[in-house]
Amino acid sequence: MVKTDWMYQYKKKLCTAEAAARAVCDDDFIMTPLCLGQPSTLIPDAIADRKDELKNVEWRWNLAIRPYKMFKPEYSSTFKITSAFTGTPFILSQFQGMGYGNYAPATVFSSIKQWTYYRKPDVIVCMVTPPDKDGFLNIGPDLMFSRGLLEGKSTSRGFVGGPRTLIGEVNDQYIPVCGDARLHISNFTHIVENSSTLPAFPSPQPKDKHRKMAEHVVSLLRDRDSIQIGIGAVPMLISDLIAHSDLKDIGLFTEMLPTGAPVWQEKGILTGKYKTFRPGEISASFIGPVKELFDFVRNNEQIGFYAGDVMNNPAVIGAEEQMVGINGALEIDMAGQVASLTLGNRMVSGYGGQSDFAMGCRMSRFGRMIIVMASATKDKNGKLISRIVPNLSPGALVGTLAVHVDYVVTENGIAGPMDGMSIDERAEALIKIAHPELQDELVKSAKEKGLFK
């Protein structure tokens, strides 16, 4: 076998986790990809072990899916943990009792510009597959931020972004995918080999109210829709209902690939042939830690993974003729403003891509933005608390503008289409799908606001 140039590069860059960790310097800004593309604990923990040598290191973790050592309190004097999307117990532990904590506002689409033009990371640590015969490693099913982060971007004013140090954890158990997922060995400064099992989270257990919500959502879908939806109890049920529906020629243009995609495709429901973006292909940015999808996406030429500045670009989304976004909320006020990041001052998740898709669905001919949530929750004393509210809780961050919402769905029904409704009409429609025991109080509050004159 003739050794090619990339093989020499690979061997030269191959090192231990401890050696790679020594590339981190004081005052560095470090980032990782969003989900499965995050490294195992090996390299981050080796960096954490340098806590007494380093100072003022910021590490941006988005949707952290592993219990990294540096999340422990004893590492906080060296490592400042920030996040643009919290959403998992590991990273939320950094925000408990801290309100917004070290939250850094960013949508998926806006973040690519942020991290190439304004806050270029010094170091990136990511998981990749072993190289192919041409020296390309595969980023795997996690391209939401990865492409722009790992190699920067070419612009009319020259090349921008890209880290000083790019550490790749080569894992033979990682998942190679199709699309824009190949990155050459020459982009990396350090390579650490480590065979490790990918994390997989258990499926959520749906309740009766989740099924009712899912049924309402599916009633709003039409043949030839391109759908954006994630994972969770309600999306899982929506996936199941779609699989047993008479819908035809559904397409997927989404950030996170839903769990129902394999069944939709098997049953001939998911053809994507009326999509504008790469017709006939399933298009996504990443998958969650869902074991059922691992084999489905592996080298599957019918699925293309693309970066967030493509999949979350409102202009690209809006070019789809029947783009349907299906997203959740924590609170909705009577005008239809959506709080999906926070409960008051308490950080729960992040902007993610909801507002990107809301704008895209607004631009899409026959597009719809559907917000789904339970009508009420309970406080620690078991008291019912409405999630449809007269005013958003003080400190709440608006994730989606009222003018970008077409339908609101709870277990009690559907409010909408909201386009063209006055605030009075919106309030009336939303109160009708609120929890029955709380509707009278909401009417009273609406009148106190000056509605229903």
Q: Nearest 5°: CA angle at 83, between 345 and 169?
A: 160
**Peptide bond before 89: cis, by omega within 30 degrees of 0?**
no
DSSP β-bridge partners for residue 256: 286
Q: For the segment 323-366, what is each residue's pLDDT rounded down to a tens digit? A: 999 999 999 999 999 998 888 888 788 888 899 999 999 999 99
Tell whether 15 and 140 lie within a shared domain. Answer: yes
pLDDT of residue 206: 84
Report the candidate in 14, 82, 81, 24 with the shortest Cα–Cα distance to residue 49: 24
pLDDT of residue 204: 79
* Helix 439-448 with 423-432: angle, nearest 10 deg: 170
Q: Is the pLDDT of residue 370 over 80?
A: yes
Report the candidate in 122, 176, 189 with the shortest Cα–Cα distance to residue 149: 122
Asked whether residue 453 is domain-assigned, the answer is: no
Do 333 and 434 meet the contact criterion of CB atoms below 8 Å apart?
A: no
Q: For the segment 376-389, what is each residue's pLDDT rounded down to a tens digit? A: 999 888 899 999 99
What's the average model confidence in pLDDT over 152-168? 86
pLDDT of residue 343: 82
Tell whether 245 and 295 lie within a shared domain. Answer: yes
Do 333 and 449 meet the contact criterion of CB atoms below 8 Å apart?
A: no
Asked whether residue 163 is domain-assigned, the answer is: yes
CATH of the domain at 406: 3.40.1080.20
Do 131 and 6 meet the contact criterion of CB atoms below 8 Å apart?
A: yes
CATH of the domain at 77: 3.40.1080.10
Q: Is 255 designated active site?
A: yes
Hey, what amino acid is at 174?
Y
What's the average model confidence in pLDDT over 179-186? 96
* Helix 208-219 with 233-243: angle, nearest 10 deg: 50
Per-residue pLDDT band for 96 (boundaries 50, 70, 90) equals low
Domain count of the fold of the chain: 2
Q: For the segment 45-81, what is each residue's pLDDT rounded down to a tens digit? A: 999 999 999 999 999 998 889 999 999 999 999 999 9
Tell whether 189 and 216 lie within a shared domain. Answer: no
pLDDT of residue 30: 97
pLDDT of residue 356: 95
Tell whether 186 and 117 lie within a shared domain. Answer: yes
Q: For the segment 26-36, what is each residue's pLDDT rounded down to a tens digit? A: 999 999 998 99
Which segments within 245-343 are labelled E, that is strand? Answer: 251-252, 282-284, 303-305, 323-328, 331-333, 338-339, 342-343
Q: What CA–CA distances, in Å, run from 307 to 13, 45, 139, 143?
A: 26, 27, 11, 5
* Cα gap 59→94, rounded to integer Å: 12
| 175 vs 378 pLDDT, higher one | 175
Tokens of 39: 């490294």
Domain boundary among 133, 163, 193: 193
Tell whether 221 and 306 lie within a shared domain. Answer: yes
Tell whether 218 and 139 lie within a shared domain. Answer: no
In this structure, the number of other CB atoms found within 10 A of the CB of residue 420 comes to 6
Tell whether 9 and 150 lie within a shared domain. Answer: yes
Do 277 and 319 meet the contact criterion of CB atoms below 8 Å apart?
A: yes
Q: What percentage of residues in the chain have a pLDDT greater than 70?
A: 97
What's the average model confidence in pLDDT over 104-116? 84
Do 329 and 387 meet the contact criterion of CB atoms below 8 Å apart?
A: yes
DSSP 402: G
Q: For the segment 263-316, what is each residue's pLDDT rounded down to a tens digit? A: 999 999 999 999 999 999 999 999 999 999 999 999 999 999 999 989 999 999
Beta-strand relationship, 346-347 and 342-343: antiparallel
Q: Which stretch of DSSP H or E encloses residue 429?
A: helix 423-432
Domain ranges, residue 152 = 5-193
pLDDT of residue 1: 39
Asked whether residue 202 is domain-assigned, the answer is: no
Stated pTM of the model = 0.93
Per DSSP, the three-state class of 241 is helix
pLDDT of residue 363: 97
Q: What is the mean pLDDT of the chain?
A: 92
From 149-163, 228-242, 400-414, the region with the lowest mean pLDDT:
149-163
DSSP β-bridge partners for residue 331: 339
- Give me the catalytic one of 255, 320, 331, 411: 255
Report the candidate in 320, 287, 325 with the shortest Cα–Cα distance to residue 305: 287
Tell whether 181 and 246 lie within a shared domain. Answer: no
Tell whether 69 and 137 lie within a shared domain. Answer: yes
Q: What CA–CA distances, in Å, run from 220 to 165, 227, 417?
A: 48, 12, 10
